């Protein structure tokens, strides 16, 4: 099956720093999403980005589908950014509902 | 709009007991998903429904697990009998067909089987 790998596995930042999280996937996909799971366990959809670049405030994401990776940028990090960031993909040509989640990047932003 | 609503939020039960988790999707959403999250296996899709019909249950771990969606506003995930290895957070999620593939998760049901 498709492999979804995220790096780094964990990251500690000082408030105000920038960071880049990476998601590599092993096969062609037609759906890629980024999620944030906050320390209380809630999963929030950040981006639907099967290709191209999107920005939402301090967050932006880029997916290069031909090279099978996606990047999530966090600028001017805040303590509320702490939590686990997941990317999830769905195989191209398959059902568009079987999202396969990566193992996540655990981010801790310190004041 | 209210989000995806799950109950109970927390449950502790003894091995062998029946567990029923409940979910109310966002009104108007056509798809409903049940996921399970554990430290060892991460987030796994168990089953999903489209217009109340189960489409893919290949992620359901074994016959002890069953899911139903009797109407567009309600779904259950049942474990009978429960085992300690079923301890996990169970998430329900929903999305609207044509809704840009944005999927919305509930807050999860934290299950502990002792």
Q: Can you give the pLDDT at residue B113?
A: 98
CB atoms within 10 A of CB B29: 18
- Alpha helices (H) in B4-102, listed in sequence order: none
Which of helix, strand or coil describes residue A76?
coil
Contact by Cβ (8 Å): A97, A1: no
- Provide the 3-class DSSP secondary structure of residue A79: helix
Sequence length of chain A is: 111
Q: Are strands A4-7 and A100-101 parallel, antiparallel or unpaired?
A: unpaired
Between B14 and A96, the more confident residue is B14
* pLDDT tier at A46, thresholds 50, 70, 90: very high
Counting every residue, how long is chain B?
114
How confident is the model at residue B100, as a pLDDT? 62
DSSP three-state, residue A9: coil
Residues in chain A with CB shorter than 8 Å from the CB of B44 are 101
Distance between B14 CA and the closest CA of chain A, angstroms: 24
| pLDDT per position as a tens digit, A11-45 | 999 999 999 999 999 988 878 999 999 988 999 99
Give how far Cα A100 sits from Cα of A29, A32, B2, B44, B80, Å.
10, 9, 26, 7, 26
- In angstroms, the separation between the Cα of residue A27 and the nearest Cα of chain B is 18
Query: How does the average pLDDT of chain A come out, rounded?
Result: 92
């Amino acid at each position: 099956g498709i492999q979804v790998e995220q790096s780094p596995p964990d990251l500690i930042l000082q408030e105000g720093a920038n960071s880049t999280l990476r998601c590599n996937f092993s096969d062609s996909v037609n759906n890629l999403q980024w999620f944030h799971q906050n320390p209380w366990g809630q999963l929030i959809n950040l981006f639907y980005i099967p290709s191209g670049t999107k920005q939402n405030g301090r967050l932006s994401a880029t997916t290069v589908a031909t090279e099978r990776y996606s990047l999530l940028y966090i600028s001017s990090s805040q303590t509320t950014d702490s939590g686990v960031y997941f990317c999830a993909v769905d195989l191209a040509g398959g059902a568009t509902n079987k999202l396969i989640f990566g193992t996540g990047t655990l981010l801790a932003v310190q004041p | 709009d209210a989000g995806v609503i799950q109950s109970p939020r927390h449950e502790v039960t003894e091995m062998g007991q029946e567990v029923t988790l409940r979910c109310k999707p966002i009104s108007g959403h056509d798809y409903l998903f049940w996921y399970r999250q554990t430290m060892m296996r991460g987030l796994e899709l168990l089953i999903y429904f489209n217009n109340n019909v189960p489409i893919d249950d290949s992620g359901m771990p074994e016959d002890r697990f069953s899911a139903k969606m009797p109407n567009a506003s309600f779904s259950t995930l049942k474990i009978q009998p429960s085992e300690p290895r079923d301890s996990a957070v169970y998430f329900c999620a929903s999305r609207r067909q044509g809704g840009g593939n944005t999927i919305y998760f509930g807050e999860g049901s934290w299950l502990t089987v002792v």
